[in-house]
Structure 1
Amino acid sequence: MTGSTRFSPARRSLVAAACVASAAVLAMPGTASAGGNGVLEVAAYEAVTIDEEHVIGLLPEGRQNYVISHPDGFDEAVEQARQLVGDDIRRNSISAGVESVDGETTLVYGAWRLDEKPSEIVIVPEGVTDWGFAAQPVTLEDEPGWGAYYASAETFGGDLPERFTVVAYDENHEVFDEIEITPWP
């Protein structure tokens, strides 16, 4: 699915959680079952549920400014982030971050910057060439050109290898950026 999906504010967290809970595994573009999970449009400062431990929110201040926090600390995280400029990633690129617990990846996240919305962002395990786990892209309503994305352990079944690549596709299903993630020494 290309483009964005609009939902009422009351349904956004439920939809975001459903996208994660579906444990989406996508074939890479160019294969018969290729497809995207859409870009979720949200209001500024809106807490979108990722999983029980994480919410994400996008801020209109600065460049690619977003927060990921525990649901109980979201308001405080937003206030702290309002003092920051945010990421300043170059056009047609992504950033990436990883949260790990006891050596296992529990969350992959980052920002994207592209004139149009990405068709999909995929987490590809090392050694795999024909499929990946779908990340959920998020963007601010009425502020095109950037957003964030996330994929939790629920998305990839808690079974993500130490090395993987985050691959982002534009509306034409062409790779516009990718970042290889390797473990810290």
Structure 2
Amino acid sequence: MKAFTSETSRFVAVPGVNCDTDQIIPGRFLKADRAQGYGQFLFHDIRRDESGELDPAFPLNKPGADSATILLVEDNFGCGSSREGAVYALVDHGIRALIAPSFGDIFYNNALKNGVVPVRLPLALCDALAEHLAEFPDAEVTVDLEKSEVILPANLGTHPVSIDPFAREGILRGLDEIEMTFTYAEQIQAFEQARIASHPWLGR
């Protein structure tokens, strides 16, 4: 996965409390070859009109929105099924961080495993951020994982970002859990050798 240290970007507010993983990527697209990119399916059914064309009113379809790498989403984002494809769709679209009052638990962990930083902020602050964006559509947010903080525009302040330390280390280094394990190869080998030396019957 791509390493994440700090990201400054325009952000897009995607509406919808309890936006589930089927809205993020409908299940019928999960059989598609990911080598072709899941980003094309992101919010497929809710960002298109009845004819299947992109709805110009949907936030991600507005001019300049494609350059945004941070999304402001609503409460309980990513609830529903455990499909990891929902995070794949965000990653393949270029999304690096999400800001919300809360996330579905499994989705939250899937995001961390794929290098997407989920930032939890109080509901009132998320609402204030959405109001600011409505007035200033070019406003930017910085998610700084090295400093464990998010810097909001105007007078909305700087706030801590708290994620699991192991996940944070992996994202900073661009390593998944298996790759992180390999970084301890020498220690693992030394432990195994010492274990066999002290318990030789284990090697029989």
Q: Return the TM-score normalized by structure 1.
A: 0.29
Counting strand residues as a fraction of each chain, which structure ranks higher?
1
Q: Which has the larger radius of gyration?
A: 2
Counting helix residues as a fraction of each chain, which structure ranks higher?
2
Q: Return the TM-score normalized by structure 2.
A: 0.27
